Every structure is written in structure tokens, then in C-alpha cells.
Amino acid sequence: MSRTAQKRRPFGSTRKLPSGRVQARYACPTCKATHPGHITFERAKDADAWLATVRAAIVQERYACPAKQPAATDPDDRAAQPFAEYADAWLAARTLRERTRLLYRSILDRELVPAFGATPLEQITRAQVRQWHTALPADRPTGNAHAYALLRTILGAAVDAEVLDTNPATIKGAGQTKRSRHVEPATVPELDTIAAAMPEPYGLAVLLAGWCALRYGELVELRRRDVSNDGAVVRVRRTMNYRDGRLWIGPPKSVAGTRDVSVPPHLQPALVQHLEKRAQPGKDGLVFPSRRSVPVACPCGYSGCVGGHLMATTFHRWFVTARAAADRTDLRVHDLRHTGLTLAAHAGATLPDLMKRAGHSSVDAAQVYMHAASGRDAEIAARMSQLVGQ
């Protein structure tokens, strides 16, 4: 479909804009005019879904003609709409994972609405955006990048919808972060020392996270049915996240995150024994539950959840003590994942192997661990010299 091509359907139509986003339009049954959607979409199916909501509103007699609405919501005058109102409508129309929606809502409420909420879209200037960005705390570069990226995206949607002529968020590189912390992966002896210093039975959790490169949320959401009977494979199908005082169970971080991970043979007997003696009973029992003897009711809404998840704050407290035993006070819980992928790279894993094992959808993300293994070149050269004289 070309940039200007339109896709016809029984109700409404969609077209791809020069920006690459998709605009939905429909014929109003009240004024007979063609109205575009108040926002644009990344995918055609999202535009189709929006048209379906308009059609449902018409059938259920809940529809209000945009031409009959106050001037501030008229398509020609939306540039005068306050940023907060436009951002709310933009967020409501997006198809997002609940975790992402909560993150965007938090950024809006904490960062963007206080700065731009009452300002009409057309009055937001490059100077205002730059002044706001300059005033952000310097000690949280990742949070600042996320806030700026969301502002740029929302204002970019206004440009795509022809509400604004240009996007005032034009600070080069402000929406990106660079890794400022060098992660030194744990060695095998250090990993064993940390695991031995953890309370029982959570030493195995450290080893499984380290050797299988599992994210913490993936680790604590593992259930009996996610582990093969012989302990050779763990199937990552869900992750646990705790946000805004509520427990969330959902799919992994990306489509690639849904994966089967082979467990190194030296860990398999311990994992089988753990399932027999330590995991919660039943196929939906958690592999690494909280120490609470009685599972609590879980508010996450997942039908298979029996509660008793091990909270990250508790695990982190134990981990801080355990890492000191290995003299690795710099190591974070998430660095266990880095350790596992570096070990896999040293073992000869190719780039596709690492992407599959880690659940990465990006080559760049997996490439980090290939670089970590590049130091083996000197070792290989030394071994080659041993061939002389044989």
C-alpha cells in the first residue's frame, strides 16, 4: 500500500501517512462529513480497532458528532487543546501492555503534566522543551530519556494527525541512554560462593538465574509445569512485576522473551530435587515461592496464580549479604543475567544462540556478550602455539 493509498471497509477507511503512521477516517452519520481520528496509529489493525469503537458508539446511540462538540475539540482547533487533555486521549487510544501503560501514566503524571499540562499544544516551543529538559535531575539519565522520549512521541502524534505543523521536541539524542556502568560478570567460583551464602533454598535461584540468564520476574514466576520432569529445560512463558502497589503477571518483555532455556546438566539434579521438596505443590505451584508457609491470595488476576511470590526487595536484601561473601559488592541481581549470557558466549554460543537463550529481539543487545567473549582470542592463539613441534 502506498503512502497515500486507502483501505476501504464496510465502515470507515484507513490510509498510511508520509510519516509511516496510519490514519483512520469515517463518514459521520450526523453531519455527513468525513472525520479523521483524533490520533494516528502505528499499525493498521489498531486503526481498524478504533474504527470499530466508533461504529459501536453509533449503533449504541452513544456517538457525538465532532462538528457539534466545543471548538477546543473540533479537528481544526485541536492545536489549542491543553497538552494534558491531548496526552490523556493519546494514551487511552493506544494498544499497550498494562505494564507499559502504567509506566507512561507515571511519566505523564510525574514529569510531563506538571511541566506542560495546561499549555496548549500550539504554544509548546522548542525553547520551553529545552528549558524543561535542562532542569531535569542529572543523576537519573535513564528516567530523563524515557520522559523526553514520551514527550517527543506524543507531540509527534500531533504532527502526524496534522494538529501541529512541527514537533518542538528536537533535542538530538535526548531520548537515548548509553550504558554508563561497566558490568563485570561473576566468575563461576564467585557465583557458587554467592549461591552458598543465600538462605535455603534460594541459592539454587541464584544459580538458575546466573546459568540460564533469566530476568528476576521470569525466575520468580516459574511454575512446576514450566520445568521439564528431568530438569533439563525451563519454559519462560510469563513474568512477574510489582508496580503501583499491585502484582502483575503477564507475558515476557517481548515476543522473543517467550522461550525454552536449556539448563546446564550440572544443575539438573538439584533442580529436580528442589521441585520434589521445595516448590509449591500442583502444576501451578511456584518453583521459588516466598518463605510464607501459607500462600496468600494474589491480586494479579491470573487464574493459575496461587500467590506467595518472592518479592524483589526480599531477594535483594539476601543477595546484598551473599555477594559480600564473594567480595562482589558491585554485582546486582540483574547482573546474574549478564553473567549467564557471558558464560554462554565463552562456551561458544553464536549470536543467534545468545538471542534465543536471552530472549532478545535485537542483535545489538546480544552483541554485547559476544564482545565479552572476544578476549578468548589471546587464549586461542596461545593454544595454537602448543601445536608447534607436535
Q: Please identify every residue annotated as catalytic.
A: 215, 334, 337, 360, 369
Helices 141-160, 83-93: axis angle to 10 degrees equals 90
For residue 310, with 0-12 CB atoms within 10 Å meaning exposed, 13-18 middle and 19 or more buried, which class applies? buried
- Asked whether the beta carbons of 16 and 50 are under 8 A apart, the reply is no
H or E segment and range at residue 235: strand 233-236
Which residues, 6+ apart, have CB-to-CB distance to 359 below 8 Å?
236, 252, 253, 254, 256, 257, 258, 259
Alpha carbon separation from 188 to 61, 174, 182, 343, 351 (Å, rounded): 66, 38, 19, 9, 22
Distance CA 105, CA 351 (A): 36
Q: Identify the bridge partners of residue 259 per DSSP, sorted by sequence position.
A: 236
Distance CA 28, CA 13 (A): 12
H or E segment and range at residue 353: helix 351-358
Alpha carbon separation from 290 to 50, 200, 202, 215 (Å, rounded): 42, 11, 10, 17
For residue 133, give the nearest of 183, 176, 171, 87 by alpha carbon: 171
Structure-block grid coordinates of residue 247: 502484582
